[in-house]
Amino acid sequence: MKFDKPATTNPIDQLKVVGKPTDRIDGPLKTTGTAPYAYERHDVASDQAYGYIVGSAIAKGRINAVDLAAAKAAPGVIEIVTWQNAGPLGKSKSHTAKLLAGPEIEHYDQAIAIVVAETFEQARAAARMVRIDYARAPGRFDLDAQIKSAPPVGEDSGEGSHSPPIARHGDFDGAFAAAPVKLDAVYRTPDQSHAMMEPHATIAAWEGDKLTLWTSNQMIAWGVRDLAQTLMIPKEKVRLVSPYIGGGFGSKLWVRADALMAALGARAAKRPVKVALARAQIMNNTTHRPATVQHIRLGATKDGKLTAIAHESWSGDLPGGGPETAPSQTKLIYAGANRLIATRLATLDLPEGNAMRAPGEAPGMMALEVAMDEMAEKLGMDPVAFRILNDTQVDPMKPERRYSMRNMTGCLKLGAEKFGWAKRNPKPGQMRDGNWLVGMGVAAGFRNNITTKSAARVRIDDKGGIVVETDMTDIGTGSYTIIAQTAAEVMGVPLDQVKVTLGDSSFPEAAGSGGQWGAANSTAGVYAACMKLREAVAAKLGFNSADAAFTGGRVTSGNRSATLADAAGSSAEDGIEYGDLGKTYQQSTFAGHFVEVGVDAWTGTVRVRRMLAVCAAGRIINPKSARSQVIGAMTMGVGAALMEHAVVDKRFGFFVNHDLAGYEVPVHADIPHQEVIFLDETDPIAGPLKAKGVGELGICGVGGAVANAIYNATGVRVRDYPITLDKLIDKLPAMA
């Protein structure tokens, strides 16, 4: 189905199933522990052996020699694979560094071997007996030390943001110099880890020259492509199966070392092999969100109109990698005729930097939204009013390009009303609750809506139920449920009459889970397939498809009626393909984030007391799971603001706090009740369901709102995240 004209009235608009807060249909499997995750697939291949990956003990250099004698002689060892006996390997363009290193080492904990044994404990013990002689080389591990040599690079997150290395609109230098009110500040965000619940894990089995992997992966088709390129075999010889994924947040967009090393180990051992990365390996072997240094300059008239906006960012990655696209939202979110956007990339020999929930906007808005508050204070304006004054209905760098739908002002106004913003004291450090200094903060949220092809196969079973098959994944987001809701709505059956099967590369290629593009596109693909199935059913029953009504498990045309079971065996496969509407209109999602914090006046300890997000993201397919997505993102935003920091050992080039004891993330005690409100809107430009993504919007701006609330509570402005008590304690106002 080609979507090249705005959506009009269609079967989705019945809203009998779509738009209703619906329990997850996979909930019973999750709560009973029977949902099949990758490492637990004992049913799919018999006689599974265990693999344990040996990672490099240096961050940069070369392997002189490998001694495997002791490891091979250890109890239970079946096989050991290194680059020396792995056979010829390629490297996918998706991978910045090789998934199997040797003899050259590109980063710390890069995989250099896999030990395969009868038990996990035997494999782990033998892995520790592998002896490596290294020649260590000097490495670049300090972003600050590399900033001056970092060249401008074109920024493209692959998630709706792209621009040349230095993008200018109007005359920023002249406008900034002439502005009567100016802000010039530098903000820093640290390296962060995805810290998802399920580790990277894979079971690999070969049948002749065909490889099947039961793995934890967000993008099935990408995984097939990248493994085929790495193993140098045809794509048709690779099958990936990922029906359930225990979190990814971007770290599982691409297959990682667990998948390749399991495949190599299984080929060498001639039996299935299972591999799971330990938490420390996840932190250093896979990917992370890169640290940033962001320079923001704002110029405004005395009445608060922005006239000059510059956002420049520095981040680092391995050679051949890409930048963290922190200025991405600044091109679009606020009005202002004169702009400078620049992204610079330093070469660092740290583990690969790559996508983490809302790459670009999440760290970028941690800086921009604090800068907006600082500017509002200079102007003597309310921060909400300042943002609303500088709203825009067009792309500021392409004024001829309008937004398909934009109600950021509505998010901010409703949020301010519901949160009680009028009670906020604009003078910092004035609100107290016993020993607690209390403050409120606000930030706008912005994330682009991304349209991409997505396909599905649907059929009618012998009882008149609908079966949906697509390689779409569910990373805990509720894909099973919204896909079932879509099929039920279009085919006119109850939700319990729809069976959804996901995450298998033998199914039609879907959008996959990532970048906030999964829900709207995968359901659009299912919609397209169901509309084609309706035509097939009508033809089989001899009905006119143009006036056939599908409701209650029946098909009616004129005075004739039949059950869907009468059309059992009918099937269709189709997908959504987008025309030029995405080029004609700017498609984005918006939020207003409001946070109240308490800061202990004696210790500087921060506690988040209240949170509210008001979101505008088109039609919400399932308000219940959408709320879950947003509160999860809000929680990650609190973590980014207050605690998350992957600390670099700048001598040896690795993340020191590489487990969940040292890398702190929010727990239940850290998070108060979170309220989420969705504006009632539909966006006919976005797709046939008139829906847009929402899963990453919830993190965009939260860190800035927390920082602004801390400032309002204490009068202490911290521009270096995370905002820990050591950055507050000696600057807090005196207690009476």
Residue 119 has pLDDT above 70, yes or no: yes
Parallel, antiparallel, or unpaired for β 466-470 and 498-502? parallel
Give the residues across from 586 on adjacent strands. Answer: 403
Query: 302 lies in a domain?
Result: no
564 and 459 together in one domain: yes
| Domain CATH for 18 | 3.30.365.10
Question: What is the C-alpha separation between 126 and 74, in angstroms, rounded?
Answer: 6
- Kindly state whether residues 523 and 574 are assigned to the same domain: yes
Considering the domain architecture, whether residues 617 and 702 belong to the same structural domain is answered as yes
Would you give the DSSP letter of residue 200?
P
Structural domain ending residue among the three candidates 578, 611, 628: 578
Cβ atoms of 115 and 77 within 8 Å: the answer is yes
Going by pLDDT thresholds of 50, 70 and 90, the confidence category of residue 133 is very high
Enter the pTM of the model.
Answer: 0.97
601 lies in the same domain as 723 = yes
User: Cα–Cα distances in Å, from 372 out to 42, 376, 422, 577?
Assistant: 53, 6, 19, 38
Domain range for 408:
392-449+587-731
pLDDT (tens digit, 9 = 90+) per residue, 288-305? 999 999 999 999 999 999
Answer whether residue 73 shows pLDDT above 80. Answer: yes
In the predicted model, is pLDDT for residue 447 greater than 80? yes
Are the CB atoms for 201 and 195 separated by under 8 Å? no
pLDDT of residue 161: 66
Give the model's pLDDT for residue 163. 75
State the pLDDT at residue 734: 87
Residue at 532 is within a domain: yes
Which pairing describes strands 398-402 and 431-433: parallel, antiparallel, or unpaired?
unpaired
Query: If you average pLDDT over residues 456-478, what whole number do you get?
Result: 97
List of E strands, 147-199: 155-156, 162-163, 166-169, 181-189
- Mean of pLDDT values over 336-360: 97
Into how many domains does the chain fold?
Answer: 2
- Say whether pLDDT at 160 is over 70: no
Does 559 lie in the same domain as 445?
no
Instruction: Give yes or no for residue 711 having a pLDDT over 90.
Output: yes
The token duo for 437 is 């200094």
Residue whose pair of structure tokens reads 């009680």 in the numeric block? 420
Active site amino acids: 696
Cβ-contact 217, 240 below 8 angstroms? yes
Looking at residue 735, its pLDDT comes to 78
pLDDT of res. 485 = 98
Q: What average pLDDT does this structure show over 207-213? A: 98
Q: Which residues contact 120 (CB under 8 A, 6 or more apart)?
A: 50, 52
Amino acid at 79: E
> By the 8 A CB rule, do 341 and 311 touch?
yes
How confident is the model at residue 434, as a pLDDT?
95
251 is a domain residue: no
438 and 457 share one domain: no
CB 193 within 8 A of CB 663: yes
Determine the average pLDDT of the residues in 472-497. 98
| CA angle (465, 466, 468) in 5-degree steps | 150
Q: Which amino acid is at 299?
A: G
Check if the beta carbon of residue 415 is closer than 8 Å to that of residue 678. Answer: no
**pLDDT tens per residue, range 643-698:** 999 999 999 999 999 999 999 999 999 999 999 999 999 999 999 999 999 999 99
Asked whether residue 426 is domain-assigned, the answer is yes
Which among 233, 244, 239, 237 has a CA at the least distance from the CA of 196? 244
- Residue ending a domain, among 521, 551, 578, is 578
Rama region for 378: left / alpha / beta (φ>0; ψ in -120 to 50; rest): alpha
> What is the distance between the alpha carbons of residues 311 and 314, in angstroms, rounded to a whole number?
10
536 and 646 inside one domain: no
Instruction: Looking at 565-680, list the stretches that DSSP marks H as alpha helix, in order from N- to C-terminal side.
Output: 581-584, 623-642
- At residue 159 the predicted structure's pLDDT band, cuts being 50, 70 and 90, is low
Give the count of beta carbons closer than 10 Å to the beta carbon of residue 40.
16
Helix-helix angle 361-379:702-714, to 10 degrees: 40
Q: With respect to residue 161, please indicate whether it lies within any of the assigned structural domains.
A: no
- Of 552, 578, 604, the domain-final residue: 578
Is 663 in the same domain as 675? yes
pLDDT of residue 164: 86
Q: Are residues 500 and 415 in the same domain?
A: no
What pLDDT was estimated at residue 157? Answer: 62
Residues 6 or more apart whose Cβ sits within 8 Å of residue 141: 59, 348, 349, 350, 648, 649, 650, 651, 652, 653
pLDDT tens-digit map of 511-563: 999 999 999 999 999 999 999 999 999 999 999 988 999 999 999 999 999 99
Residues 671 and 570 in one domain: no
Q: Average pLDDT in the 188-199 region?
A: 97
Integer Cα distance of 427 and 376 in angstroms: 12
Q: Per residue in 22-31, pLDDT tens? A: 999 999 999 9
Q: What is the mean pLDDT of the chain?
A: 97
Q: What pLDDT does residue 736 have?
A: 61
| 247 inside domain | no
423/471 same-domain check: no
Q: Are both 496 and 618 inside the same structural domain?
A: no
Residue 305 inside a domain? The answer is no
**Residue 679 belongs to a domain:** yes
* Structure confidence at residue 154 (pLDDT): 84
Which 3 state secondary structure label does DSSP give 728? coil
